[in-house]
């Protein structure tokens, strides 16, 4: 049998402007408010011709999608990352017939107010709140929007109340068992809401608080166990949340061998290793819910 020339066909495709950095300042007299966003737009729909024939008749330019982000920030403000993303997604799907689905990803960088005693009545000074970012991803397919909120870069550490032992010992296992170790991670979490009638800021603050409380309050025999406790706590305390996916790098703290210096290391001096790192990931679901948060590809 001779194989004929294989025909290529177009598969999943999407397009839009990635990473529009928009900063919206709102002024209430001398008190200013800041929203600092990184917005990515991905549109899909009736886009066969642009790929296959070169006709751009159905193409809303990526440049226009970027302009829409800036114009909406002016016209509607940014009440929350989720609300802003929902508004954008709805706009692209309802204003352009060929566009059937819009996926908006927002990363929000948090600024805290600098409360300086000698700053006078003006309240216009801010300090970036570490590496933490808030995320929102909205997919609107015409039928309605689905919202996945999250956070990245939330670094936490327990200086005790963590053990790790009882694991498999094969011929390559060298890790010593421990009854008292440092447990540290950078929380990367995404959680999916059942609907869109949600107080986004309050829900985000509550989810973040529950993640922290579960991390601090769980006596840990593994990061896997801590992960499940964190996810379960969010699902149990936020009735609107259907599932949560957590990606937790184990920020290893190895005890330094001080014996060569004639010193005892009584769980006091650690080497904070950068890489490699264990990477513990799982989804925690409300019983009966469908897992719809996609698994991220392996890093980086
Ligand atoms: O909490 C942990 N889980 C593991 O699976 C693991 N593996 C490892 O080497 N250290 C740890 N720690």
- pLDDT score of 298: 82
Sorting pLDDT into bands at 50, 70 and 90, what band is 5?
confident
Selecting among 33, 62, 152, 213, the annotated active-site residue is: 62
Number of Cβ within a 10 Å radius of residue 268: 10
**Cα of 280 from ligand 1 centre, angstroms:** 8
Mean pLDDT, the chain, rounded, equals 96
Residue 244, Cβ density class (10 Å: 0-12 exposed, 13-18 middle, ≥19 buried): buried
- pLDDT score of 2: 59
Is the CB–ligand 1 distance for residue 278 below 6 Å? yes
The C-alpha atoms of residue 261 and residue 255 are separated, in whole angstroms, by: 14
Looking at ligand 1, which atom is closest to the CA of residue 162? Answer: 1
- pLDDT score of 6: 85
The annotation places the binding site for 5-hydroxyisourate at 62-63, 164, 181, 224, 250
Q: Evaluate if residue 117 carries a pLDDT over 90.
A: no
Q: pTM for the complete prediction?
A: 0.95
Percent of the chain topping pLDDT 70: 99
Percent of the chain topping pLDDT 90: 92
Sorting pLDDT into bands at 50, 70 and 90, what band is 129?
confident
Higher pLDDT, 80 or 3: 80
The C-alpha atoms of residue 19 and residue 36 are separated, in whole angstroms, by: 12
- pLDDT score of 3: 62
Report ipTM for this prediction.
Answer: 0.99
Sorting pLDDT into bands at 50, 70 and 90, what band is 120?
confident
User: Any catalytic annotation for residue 76?
Assistant: no
Sorting pLDDT into bands at 50, 70 and 90, what band is 119?
confident
- Nearest residue CA, atom 10 of ligand 1? 278
174-220, pLDDT tens digit by residue? 999 999 999 999 999 999 999 999 999 999 999 999 999 999 999 99
CA geometry: angle 135, 91, 93, nearest 5 deg: 95
Looking at ligand 1, which atom is closest to the CA of residue 225? Answer: 1
Selecting among 66, 105, 140, 252, the annotated active-site residue is: 252
Nearest in space to 23 (alpha carbons), one of 115, 96, 149, 110: 110
What domains does the chain contain, in order, with CATH numbers? Answer: 14-143 (3.10.270.10), 150-300 (3.10.270.10)
224-247, pLDDT tens digit by residue? 999 999 999 999 999 999 999 999
21-79, pLDDT tens digit by residue? 999 999 999 999 999 999 999 999 999 999 999 999 999 999 999 999 999 999 999 99
Is the CB–ligand 1 distance for residue 222 below 6 Å? yes
User: Any catalytic annotation for residue 169?
Assistant: no
User: Any catalytic annotation for residue 74?
Assistant: no
């Amino acid at each position: 049998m001779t194989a004929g020339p294989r025909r290529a066909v177009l598969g999943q495709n999407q397009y839009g402007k990635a990473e529009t950095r928009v900063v919206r300042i709102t002024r209430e007299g001398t008190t200013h408010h800041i929203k600092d966003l990184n917005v990515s737009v991905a549109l899909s729909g009736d886009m066969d011709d642009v790929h296959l024939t070169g006709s751009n008749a159905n193409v809303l330019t990526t440049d226009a999608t970027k302009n829409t982000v800036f114009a909406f920030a002016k016209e509607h403000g940014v009440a929350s990352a989720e609300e802003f993303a929902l508004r954008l997604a709805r706009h692209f799907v309802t204003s352009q017939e060929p566009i059937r689905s819009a996926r908006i990803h927002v990363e929000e960088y948090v600024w805290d107010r600098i409360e300086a005693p000698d700053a006078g009545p003006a309240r216009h000074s801010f300090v970036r709140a570490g590496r933490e970012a808030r995320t929102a991803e909205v997919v609107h397919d015409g039928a309605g929007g689905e919202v996945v909120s999250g956070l990245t870069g939330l670094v936490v550490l327990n200086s005790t109340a963590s053990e790790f032992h009882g694991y498999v010992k094969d011929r390559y296992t060298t890790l010593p068992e421990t009854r008292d170790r440092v447990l540290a991670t950078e929380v990367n979490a995404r959680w999916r809401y059942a609907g869109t009638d949600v107080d986004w800021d309050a829900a985000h603050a509550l989810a973040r608080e529950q993640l922290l409380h579960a991390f601090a309050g769980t006596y840990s025999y593994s990061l896997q166990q801590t992960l499940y406790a964190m996810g379960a706590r969010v699902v149990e305390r936020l009735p609107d949340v259907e599932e949560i996916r957590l990606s937790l790098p184990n920020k290893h703290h190895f005890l330094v061998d001080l014996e060569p210096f004639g010193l005892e290391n009584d769980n006091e001096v650690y080497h904070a290793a950068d890489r490699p790192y264990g990477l513990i990931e799982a989804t925690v679901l409300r019983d009966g819910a469908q897992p719809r948060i996609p698994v991220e590809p392996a890093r980086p």
